[in-house]
Chain A
Amino acid sequence: MTSKNSMKKNLFHTKMNWGLGALAFPGMIFLLAFYYVPLFGIVIPFKQIDYSKGILGSDWVGLKNFKFFFSSQDAWRITRNTLGLNFIFITLTLIISVIMALLLFELGRRSVKIYQTALFVPYFISWVVASYILYAMISPEMGAVTNMMKSMGKIPENLYYKPEIWPVILTLAYLWKNVGYMTLLFYTALIGIDSSYFEAAAIDGANKLQLMLKISVPYIKPVIIMMTLLQIGKIFYSDFGMFYFLTRNSGGLYATTDVIDTYVFRALRVTGDIGMSSAVGLFQSFVGLILVLTSNLIVKKSNPDHAIF
C-alpha cells in the first residue's frame, strides 16, 4: 500500500517536472543561443581571429587589444562622456520619476490616466524618429526653437556644430523618453500600498509630506534600489540610438557626445577592428558586473531584504 502510494506520488512529481520543463524549454533555447553561447566570445579580445582556424583555434595575442584601446587618446574622452552623462541621466531620472510618481499618487484616477498617457508617449517613439523631431526643433534654417530665438531678437547658432550645448540636449532627450516609463513603474508599486496605513497615520495627525516620506517612499524603496542597481550595471553602456541618431553622428560633436558604444560601433563599421571592439565590449560588461556586485554588497550590509541577489 505504502509503496503504491509513494509510486503514485513519484509519478505525479515527474509529470509535473516534465510539464514545467516543456514550458521553459523554448525560452531557454533562445536564452542559450543568444546570451550564453556568445559568452564564449569573451576569448575573442585575447586572440587574433582567423576564421579558417575557428574562434577557439585562433592564436592568442595576450592583452594587445586592451592596451591598444587604453593607450589611445580617445579612451579618456569616451569614458568620461559615458560615465558623466550616465551619472546625470540616472540621478535625474530617478529623482524626477520618484517625485512625479508620489505626486501622481495624490491625484484622482482620471487625471492620472491623462497625464500617464502624455508622459508615456515619448517612450514609444524610436530614436530614429526622435532625431527627426529634434531636427524640427533645432534645424538651423527652420527649427521651431531657432525661429523662437530669432523672434526674440537673438542670433541663432547651428547647434549641430556646438558640442558644449549637447550634454544639455541629450539629458533633456533622455528624460523626455524615460521619465514617463519610470514614473509609471514607481506608481504601480505605490498602488500596492494598503490604504489602512495612511488612514492610521492620518488619525495620528501625520501630514501629507510625512505620509509620503514615512510610508510611500519606504514602501517603494526596494523597487528604487533594484532599478538603480540595474542601471549601475549598465553605467558603461549608452543608449546607442540616442547618441548616434540625435547627434547625426556628427564628428564636430564628438568632444561631448562620443561614448563607448558609438566609438566601438564606428571602429567595427569603419575599420572592421574586431580585436579592439570586442576588448572594449568585454571591459564594459566586466566593469559593470563588478559595480553591480559591489553596490549590491553595500545594500546587503545595510538591509539584506533590499539586495537584489
Chain B
Amino acid sequence: MIENKRAHYIQKTLTHILFIIAAIFCVTPILFVISAAFTDELALAQEGYKLFPSKFSLEAFEYILESPKQIVTSYGVTIAVTVVGTAISLLFTSMLAYVMARKDFKASRLISFMVFFTMLFNGGLVPSYIMITRYYGLKNTIWAMILPYVIIPWHVFLMKGFFSDLSITLVEAAKIDGGSEVGIFFKIIAPISKPAFATVGLFCAFTYWNDWWLSMLYIEDSKLTSLQYYLYRIMNNIQFLATSLTAGNISIDRSQIPGETARMALCVLAAGPMLIIFPFFQKYFVKGLTVGAVKG
C-alpha cells in the first residue's frame, strides 16, 4: 500500500516536471522578445538577446509612439477589422450552427453537409482571388479583410457541437409558449451558450487580429495596412536593405526603418492584446470547445 502511494507520488511529480518543461518551451521564446523590447538599443547590439534586459530602457516604445504615423493607422485598422469582423462572424456563425444542430429541421442535414464539404474541397487561391478582386470589388477596401473570414467552417462545427448537446425540450417548451424560432435563439439559446460564444468569439477575434494573409493579397493602400502586415513589411524592408547594402546601393533612407528594439516593441504591441485577453476566456474553453460529430 505504502509502496503504491510512493509510486503514485513519483508518477505525479514526473508528470508535473514534464508539463513544466513543456510550459517553458512554449513561453520562454516569447520572453526574449519582450525583454528585447525593454532593452537599450546599444546594450542589445552588444550583448544580444537575453531573458532579462541587460540595460532597461523604454526608448523603443517612445520611438514607436512618437514617430511613424503608420503604426497608429495600422493599429486602428486592426482594431476596426477585429471588432467589426468578430461581431458579424460570431453572430452569423452561431445562427448557422444552431440551425445545423436542430436535427428536427429538414434542411439541417443538407446545410451541415454543405459546410462540411468546404473543409474537404475548395477552389483554391486563384479562383477566390479572382472573385474577390474582379467580381466582388473588395480590393483595397476594409471589407476584403473582414468578409472572407465571416464563416469559417471549423468554427461553425465547434459551435454546432455545443448546441447539439443542449436539450431540445427547451425549444419545445418555448415554442408552446408561442416564441418564434428567431426569438427562441436569441432569448433562450444564446444566453445559456456563453461558453461557446466566448470560445468561438475569441477564436474569431484571434483570426482577425492575427491576419496578414488577406492584407497581403488584397490591400495595397498603406492607409489600410494592418498591424501584422506592417510587421511583415518591416521585416521585408530590412532584408531588402541588407541585400541593397551588400550590393552597394545605399540610396535607401535608413531612418524609415525602426531599430531592432523598436521592432521587438512592435511585436509586443501586436501580440500583446491577444495574450492579455485570452486567459480571461480560459474558463470557458473546457465547455466551449466541443468537437461534435461532423456528420448529420
Contacts and interface: CB of A to CB of B under 8 A. Distances in A.
6 contacts: A51-B134, A115-B23, A142-B45, A245-B232, A277-B126, A285-B124
B167 interface: no
B96 A188 contact: no
Interface of B: 11-12, 15-16, 18-19, 22-23, 25-27, 29-30, 32-33, 36, 44-45, 47-51, 91-93, 95-96, 98-100, 102, 105-108, 111, 113-116, 118-131, 134, 136, 147-148, 150-151, 153, 156, 175, 180-182, 185, 206, 210-213, 228-229, 231-232, 235, 239, 263-264, 267, 270-271, 274-275, 278-279, 282, 285-287, 289-291, 293-295
A106 B189 CA distance: 33
* Binding site secondary structure of chain A: helix
A284 B290 CA distance: 29
A176 interface: yes
Contacts of B232: 128, 245
A38 B212 contact: no
Given A126-B228, A128-B235, A277-B126, 4 more contacts: A15-B181, A41-B127, A42-B127, A245-B235
Given A19-B181, A143-B48, A288-B120, A133 B33 contact: yes
Nearest to B277: A124
For this complex, into which size category does the number of interface residues on chain A fall? 35 or more
A39 B127 contact: yes
B151 A30 contact: yes
Interface of A: 15-24, 26-28, 30-31, 33-42, 44, 51, 55, 100, 103-104, 106-107, 111, 113-122, 124-126, 128-129, 131-134, 136-137, 139, 141-144, 146-147, 176, 179-180, 184-185, 187-189, 191, 208, 222-223, 226-227, 230, 233, 240-241, 245, 248, 264-265, 268, 274, 277-278, 280-282, 284-286, 288-289, 292, 307-309
Contacts of A226: 291, 294
B163 to A, nearest CB: 11
